[in-house]
Chains A and B, each alone.
Chain A
Amino acid sequence: MLRLYATVAAGGFRRHATYRVATAAGVFTNSVFGVVLSYTYIALWDERPHLGGYSMDDALAYVWIGQALLTVCGMMGGGFENELIERIRTGDIAVDLYRPADLQTWWFSADLGRSAYQLLGRGVAPMAVGWLAFRFTLPAGPGSWLAFLVAVTLGSTVGFALWYVVAMSAFWLLDGQGVVQVAWLGGLFFSGMLLPLNVFPGALGEVARALPWASLLQVPADVYLGKYQGWGLAGAYAFQGGWALVLLAAGRAVQAAATRKVVVQGG
């Protein structure tokens, strides 16, 4: 079975790799947004040095990590949920359901492949552009890079699990767009895509840092910046892994309920 899902993941990687122009356009967009956000952050950190415990160089690194991970961890959309919702809406999901494979594991594998491609295709380039322009903080060494990569993998898993639950709602709602938009807004705000969650004041900050969206960007960025060491790092991973397990289980429960009542659309 592992070989099957490895093949699915490889397919997920390659199908996104066929769209080179889209990748180039994505790199360009991420770089432009990165530059715009960088100047915003520079202005902000000039006024309030060490805001959220970040130095100016840390804050700039945070901006570019956000741009690099945008599609990898699915802060503003997982990159697969629209396709899955469309398959549910049109009834094409029937084809997925009769296969001798688990629906969630199938989509998870495909999404892992997609994330891996996005990391290489749309992650590395904007990060390099950003560093050449702003010379932000880099991880201390190869070990920190590796620790960062683990956090990104976990973040990407949480991202998948979140968007999978959202997509499953289409079995009941038929048009999943409303839920997608709510989830999009939630992701934008609570992932720390606009401002680091460290900057959020009081109870709002406490809540935001405890929600699953914190796994997508805030935790990987802090791992990158070396804010977690030793047991602290293990705790950060446990936070991400915990949310991943909870949300994957939730997705599985919703999937089971959906396929029990499933009304596959169309003659």
Chain B
Amino acid sequence: MASRIEPFIELENLEKVFTVRRKAAGLLRREKKEVRAVDGISFAVERGEMVGYIGPNGAGKSTTIKMLTGILTPSGGRLRVAGIDPARERTRLAQRIGVVFGQRTTLWWDLPLKDSYRLMHRMYRIPDARFRENLDRCVELLELGELLDVPVRQLSLGQRMRGDIAAALLHDPEVLYLDEPTIGLDVVSKARVREFLSHLNTTQGTTVLLTTHDLTDIEQLCSRVMVIDHGRLMYDGKLTGLHAVGESERLLVVDLERELPPIDVPGARFVRSEGPRQWLAFPATASAAPLVAEVAAAYPLIDLSVREPDIETVIAKMYGGTRDERRESLM
């Protein structure tokens, strides 16, 4: 039913091949090697969607984002953002997109935060009233009020990230790309960033595409997740489905009153123990409640906690056996 609407972001068999030259045996011979950073990816994102784009380091996430912003030219395939070919009309597209790279900043390092916003005002030719309104809203929601006069180099990482997110939104972009927006942030800062993004998506209808290593980002923000590995799209769907496909497990950490033999309850698998503490694994798709009840009924329990599987583990498990074969077939 959604297929009637023209997708906002559309990739068809997108490819990016880098040619890497390196010294081979012998003095003057150099051998060329092709690295397929993005190897035929197709997907479509509707206007107003919030999508997580995940995968291990080097999977091709950032390369995809760079092609979506137009700073990298695809080697093959078709790519449209808002009906525009990014590499060809980068500057025109830039007016309609916002980008935040978690590990880089667009802000003026030595100058007060507000100077960078004045620069955005000019760069995107934002009408004055619109600029005021957007800045006021960002300042309020991201709690930037006291930071506007502080030089960026004096901001904490969390403050700087909020400042960067505001900078990317002053021109009302229709889509926001976030590359690791919560990397290195403490729990409070992460929560604040997530809350803001969720608010942005629901109230402004901004399309959001975010890459992350933090599963909680995806859980709390994205209804849809795409997993990419070795430049290929391995999964596209709901997060719960990913757990089912990946057969991932959650961990139940149980603190008993004293050291006991391994806990044996249905639906869980004993992993290891350390004194009175034991680790049990159970499927991520199953509820923890009945398991907790069983353990509490049968054993002298002091405390317990549930550990969520991290994304790397889910993906590693998902493709565990196939990784090495795939790598060979690439050579």
B240 interface contact, C-beta 8 A:
no
Output the nearest chain A residue to B109 by Cβ-Cβ distance: A15
Number of A-B contacts (CB under 8 A): 65
A4 interface contact, C-beta 8 A:
yes
B42 interface contact, C-beta 8 A:
no
Is the CB–CB distance between B111 and A260 below 8 Å? no
Residue in A11, A95, A101, A267 whose beta carbon sits within 8 Å of that of B105 in the complex: A95
Is the CB–CB distance between A11 and B72 below 8 Å? no
Which residues on the A side are within 8 Å of B94 (C-beta)? 98-100
A94 interface contact, C-beta 8 A:
yes
Interface mask (A66-109 → B, CB under 8 Å = 1, otherwise 0)? 00000000000000000000000001101101111100000000
A262 interface contact, C-beta 8 A:
yes
Is the CB–CB distance between B115 and A97 below 8 Å? no
Distance between Cα atoms of A52 and B14 in the complex (Å): 65
Residue in A7, A18, A97, A267 whose beta carbon sits within 8 Å of that of B71 in the complex: A97
Given A8-B119, A95-B105, A267 and B111 contact (CB-CB distance below 8 Å): no
Given A97-B71, A264-B71, A7 and B99 contact (CB-CB distance below 8 Å): no
Given A94-B104, A97-B71, A100-B95, A18 and B122 contact (CB-CB distance below 8 Å): no
Is the CB–CB distance between A101 and B73 below 8 Å? no
Distance between Cα atoms of A97 and B67 in the complex (Å): 12
Is the CB–CB distance between A264 and B108 below 8 Å? no
Is the CB–CB distance between A14 and B115 below 8 Å? yes
A3 interface contact, C-beta 8 A:
yes
- What is the total number of residues of chain A having a CB less than 8 Å from a CB of chain B? 25
Output the nearest chain B residue to A7 by Cβ-Cβ distance: B122
Which residues on the A side are within 8 Å of B70 (C-beta)? 98
Within 8 A of A (CB), among B72-88: 72-73
- What is the total number of residues of chain B having a CB less than 8 Å from a CB of chain A? 33
Interface centre among A18, A92, A95 (most CB of B within 10 A): A95
CB distance from B121 to the nearest CB of A (A): 8
CB distance from A164 to the nearest CB of B (A): 19
Interface centre among B110, B111, B118, B123 (most CB of A within 10 A): B123
Distance between Cα atoms of A7 and B61 in the complex (Å): 34
Which residues on the B side are within 8 Å of A263 (C-beta)? 18
Measured CB to CB, the residues of A under 8 A from B are: 3-4, 7-8, 11, 14-15, 18-19, 91-92, 94-95, 97-101, 259-260, 262-264, 266-267
The 10 closest A-B pairs by CB, nearest first: A100-B94, A15-B110, A4-B122, A97-B71, A98-B69, A100-B91, A7-B122, A267-B62, A92-B104, A95-B106
17 more A-B contacts (CB under 8 A) besides A7-B119, A14-B111, A267-B58? A4-B123, A11-B108, A11-B115, A14-B115, A15-B109, A94-B66, A94-B71, A94-B104, A95-B99, A95-B101, A98-B69, A99-B123, A101-B123, A262-B72, A264-B72, A267-B57, A267-B62
